[in-house]
C-alpha cells in the first residue's frame, strides 16, 4: 500500500507535466470496492513528485470514469484514494480500459480489462512479491540447515526462483516488444556487467574493464529518448547518476555526453526542454572547479539559440553572464590587466604618515602578463570582507611555502577611493602582509568584469604562460595544486 499527499511545485518546465501529446482522448473506468460517493484523483509521476490531472466522484457502488477528449502523455500514473493511498497504472497509446480494485491490498485485488500493459504490469509485480516471500523463507531455512547437502539444496532453490523471474521477464520482452510495459521493465533492470578478463593463471588483465563496460552500456536497457519515461519516478535519477557518477568529472569528457543526452531528447519538445533545463541548472549550480566550461557550452550551443520558452530579459542576462565567464575558463590565457603595485615601504611609512595613507596615486604600474613567475596566484579581496579577513592570513602562510617553488602572489585590493586606501593600508600593516605584490586600481574596476568578480575572496592560479590552471579555490588548496603541477612537469 502506498501513501502520498499532493504538493504543488512551480518550476521552469512545469508545462511539461500538463502538455497533451495525443488527441484521441482517454476513458478509464474505475470500480473501487468499499468506496462510496467519494473522490478519486488521477495523477502522474514526474521524477520524485506527483501531479494531478483529473478527478471524479464515484457513485455509491464505487464506480466512476476518468474521461476527456485529449489523451494524456504516456507514462506512469496513479489513482489516489481519499485515504491518501494510491496505486500505479501505465498509460501509453491505449487509454481506454477498465480497473477494479479495493481500498486495501491494491496489488492482490487489482483487475484490469482492456490494457495488456497494465495486466502484465500487475502480473509482474505479483510474481516479484510472491517470489520474494518464497526466497525469504528459503534463506531462513538455508541459514538453519545442518548439513552441506541441505544448504546446497536451498541455494539451488533460490537460484531457481531467480531464474523463474528472469524467464518471465524474457518471455514478456520477446512476446511483447512494442509494449510500454516491456520498455518499462527493461528500464528498471540494471545491465549485467561481465567479470574482469583474466589470463590463464586467473590474473585480471584489465582492471578498468568493468567500469568501461558499465559506462558504454549504461543506457542499453533505458531509452533516454522516450518521453514517457519523463513521467516516472526514475528518469532524472538515471540521467543524473550517469552525469554525476559514471562519467569522469572532466569538462572535455562531459561535454560530448551532455550533447548526446540533449540530442536524444529531441524526440519531443517537452523532453528536449526538460533535458536542456536540467543539464543547464545542474552545471550552473556545480561546485566542481572547471564545470563552468560545460555551462558555457550548453548556453552557447543550446540555451541561448533554442530556449524559446525563456523571456528575452533572461536570455540577455545569460549572454552577459557567459561573456564574463568564457574568458576565464580553465586552460584559457588569463586576461591581461594593469594594476598599481605598492611596495612594502609605502605601507610601513603610511602607518604614521596620514598623507601617504590617503594617497591614491602612489605605486608603479604593472601588467599581469609581464610578471615573471612559474606560478602566479591572484587573490581578489577587500579589507572589509569578513571572509577575506579570515582568508588573507592563510593565503600569506601559503605564500611563504610556495615562493621557493617559483610561486608569486598578486593580492588585488578591490576597494577604491581614499577610504578604500586607508582600510587597505591598515589591514596590510596589521597582518604584516609584506613581500608579495600588493596591488590595486583605485578608479578603474574593469578587471572585475574580466575576472567575473561578484564576491570576495576569489583566487586564480596561473602557470608561467599565464594560463589559468585553477580558480575559485580555497587558500589551502593552492599549495596542493602547485605541487601537483610541479610533479606533472617532472613526470613529463
List C-alpha distances in Å: 59 to 3, 37, 81, 84: 23, 5, 14, 19
Is the bond preceding 50 in cis, omega lying within 30 degrees of 0? no
- pLDDT value of position 316: 96
The β-bridge partners of 203 are: none
Q: How many CB atoms lie within 10 A of CB 1?
A: 12
Helix, strand, coil: what percent of the chain each, to 5?
50, 20, 35
Angle at 350 between CA 345 and CA 352, to 5 degrees: 120
Residues 132, 162 contacting (CB under 8 angstroms): no
- pLDDT value of position 7: 30
- pLDDT value of position 9: 28
Nearest to 392 by CA among 422, 424, 369, 362: 424
- pLDDT value of position 14: 38
Tens of pLDDT, residue by residue, the chain (492 residues)? 443 333 322 333 333 444 444 458 999 999 999 999 999 999 999 988 999 999 999 999 999 999 999 999 999 999 999 999 999 999 999 999 999 999 989 999 999 999 999 999 999 999 999 999 999 999 999 999 989 999 999 999 999 999 999 898 899 889 999 999 999 999 999 999 999 999 999 999 999 999 999 999 999 999 999 999 999 999 999 999 999 999 999 999 999 999 999 999 999 999 999 999 999 999 999 999 999 999 999 999 999 999 999 999 999 999 999 999 999 999 999 999 999 999 999 999 999 999 999 999 999 999 999 999 999 999 999 999 999 999 999 999 999 999 999 999 999 999 999 999 999 999 999 999 999 999 999 888 999 999 999 999 999 999 999 999 999 999 999 999 999 999 988 887
For cell 484490469, name the residue. 112
- pLDDT value of position 3: 38
3-state SS class at 177? coil
Mutual orientation of helices 386-402 and 475-491 as an angle, nearest 10°? Answer: 30
Tell me how far apart the alpha carbons of residues 142 and 151 are, in angstroms, rounded to a whole number: 5
- Distance, CA of 74 to chain centre: 25
- pLDDT value of position 48: 83
- pLDDT value of position 99: 97
- pLDDT value of position 375: 98
Please name the residue ranges forming H helices in 40-111: 106-109
* φ and ψ at residue 2, rounded to 5 degrees: -115, 150
- pLDDT value of position 13: 39
- pLDDT value of position 492: 75
Residues 144, 137 contacting (CB under 8 angstroms): no
- pLDDT value of position 173: 87
User: What does pTM read for this prediction?
Assistant: 0.85
- pLDDT value of position 18: 40
Which helix or strand (DSSP H or E) is residue 167 part of? helix 148-175
Q: How many CB atoms lie within 10 A of CB 373?
A: 18
Residues 28, 97 contacting (CB under 8 angstroms): yes
- pLDDT value of position 21: 43
Q: How many CB atoms lie within 10 A of CB 13?
A: 18
Nearest to 56 by CA among 70, 33, 40: 40
State the cell numbers at 227.
518521453
Amino acid at each position: 500500500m502506498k501513501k502520498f499527499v499532493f504538493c504543488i511545485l512551480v518550476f521552469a518546465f512545469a508545462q511539461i507535466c500538463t502538455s497533451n501529446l495525443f488527441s484521441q482522448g482517454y476513458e478509464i473506468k474505475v470500480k473501487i470496492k468499499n468506496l462510496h460517493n467519494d473522490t478519486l484523483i488521477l495523477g502522474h509521476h514526474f521524477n520524485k513528485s506527483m501531479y494531478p490531472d483529473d478527478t471524479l466522484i464515484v457513485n455509491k457502488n464505487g464506480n466512476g470514469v476518468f474521461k476527456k477528449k485529449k489523451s494524456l502523455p504516456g507514462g506512469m500514473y496513479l489513482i489516489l484514494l481519499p485515504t491518501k493511498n494510491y496505486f500505479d497504472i501505465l498509460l501509453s497509446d491505449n487509454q481506454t480500459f477498465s480497473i477494479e480494485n479495493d481500498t486495501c491490498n491494491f496489488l492482490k485485488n487489482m483487475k484490469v480489462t482492456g490494457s495488456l500493459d497494465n495486466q502484465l504490469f500487475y502480473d509482474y509485480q505479483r510474481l516479484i512479491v510472491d517470489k520474494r516471500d518464497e526466497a525469504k523463507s528459503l534463506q531462513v531455512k538455508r541459514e538453519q540447515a545442518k548439513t552441506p547437502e541441505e544448504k546446497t539444496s536451498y541455494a539451488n532453490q533460490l537460484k531457481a526462483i531467480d531464474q523463474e523471474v528472469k524467464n518471465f521477464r524474457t518471455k514478456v520482452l520477446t512476446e511483447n516488444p512494442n509494449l510500454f510495459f516491456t520498455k518499462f521493465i527493461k528500464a528498471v533492470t540494471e545491465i549485467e556487467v561481465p567479470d574482469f578478463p583474466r589470463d590463464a593463471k586467473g590474473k585480471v588483465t584489465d582492471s578498468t574493464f568493468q567500469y568501461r563496460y558499465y559506462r558504454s552500456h549504461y543506457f542499453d536497457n533505458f531509452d533516454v529518448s522516450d518521453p514517457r519515461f519523463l513521467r516516472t519516478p526514475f528518469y532524472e535519477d538515471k540521467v543524473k547518476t550517469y552525469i554525476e557518477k559514471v562519467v569522469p568529472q572532466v569538462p572535455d569528457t562531459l561535454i560530448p555526453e551532455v550533447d548526446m543526452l540533449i540530442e536524444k531528447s529531441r524526440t519531443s519538445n517537452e523532453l528536449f526542454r526538460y533535458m536542456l533545463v536540467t543539464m543547464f541548472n545542474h552545471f550552473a549550480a556545480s561546485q566542481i572547479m572547471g564545470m563552468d566550461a560545460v555551462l558555457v557550452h550548453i548556453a552557447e550551443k543550446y540555451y541561448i539559440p533554442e530556449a524559446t520558452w525563456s523571456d528575452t530579459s533572461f536570455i540577455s542576462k545569460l549572454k552577459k553572464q557567459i561573456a564574463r565567464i568564457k574568458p576565464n575558463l580553465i586552460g584559457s590565457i588569463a586576461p591581461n590587466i594593469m594594476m598599481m603595485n605598492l611596495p612594502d615601504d609605502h605601507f610601513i611609512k603610511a602607518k604614521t604618515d596620514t598623507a601617504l595613507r590617503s594617497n591614491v596615486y602612489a605605486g608603479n604600474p604593472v601588467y599581469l602578463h609581464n610578471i615573471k613567475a612559474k606560478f602566479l596566484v591572484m587573490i581578489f579581496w577587500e579589507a572589509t570582507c569578513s571572509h577575506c579577513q579570515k582568508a588573507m592570513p592563510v593565503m600569506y602562510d601559503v605564500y611563504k611555502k610556495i615562493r621557493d617553488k617559483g610561486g608569486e602572489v598578486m593580492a588585488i585590493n578591490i576597494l577604491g577611493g581614499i577610504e578604500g586606501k586607508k582600510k587597505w593600508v591598515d589591514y596590510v600593516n596589521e597582518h604584516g602582509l609584506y613581500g608579495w605584490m600588493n596591488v590595486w586600481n583605485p578608479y578603474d574596476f574593469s578587471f572585475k568584469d574580466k575576472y567575473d568578480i561578484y564576491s570576495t575572496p576569489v583566487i586564480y592560479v596561473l602557470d608561467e604562460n599565464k594560463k589559468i590552471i585553477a580558480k575559485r579555490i580555497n587558500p589551502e588548496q593552492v599549495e596542493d595544486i602547485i605541487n601537483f603541477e610541479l610533479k606533472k612537469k617532472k613526470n613529463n
